[in-house]
Homo-oligomer: A and B are copies of this chain.
């Protein structure tokens, strides 16, 4: 029996660190989570409506962010041959898997804020 067998080796650790880095890079920045969150709430939506659902973002930035999300297989873009052309966006099935993760990130942040507030109160009492 080799007790070391059950512990992650250097290679496993590297794979895990890369996985963490990938996720953090994909979700960091000011807009990605907001856009994904908006798409979760609205479902399939036209570009101009998504622009309204993401307050403060510029059209150019939204376009750039959507392109990155599309390249990562998280968002699907459909071009409708109407006049004028309509472009719609929605989360892919893979994009939907972000829901639980974003909820965990939000929940932890809310607990953390409570913790910090309680610590400040304790420090001053």
Show the binding face of A for B, using Cβ within 8 Å: 15-24, 26-28, 33-34, 37, 72-73, 94, 97-98, 100-102, 104-113, 115-116, 119
Task: Tell me the nearest residue of chain B to A115, going by C-beta.
Answer: B94
Interface residue from B15, B23, B106, B108 paired with A108 (Cβ < 8 Å): B23
B19 adjacent to A119 (CB under 8 Å): no
**CA–CA, A72 and B103, complex, Å:** 21
Across the two chains, which residue of chain B brings its CB closest to A109?
B19
Q: Chain B residue with minimal CB distance to A92?
A: B115
The reply to whether B109 and A23 form a contact with Cβ atoms under 8 Å apart is: yes
Cα–Cα, bound, A102→B97 (Å): 16
Find chain B residues with CB under 8 A from A24 CB: 24, 27-28, 33, 105
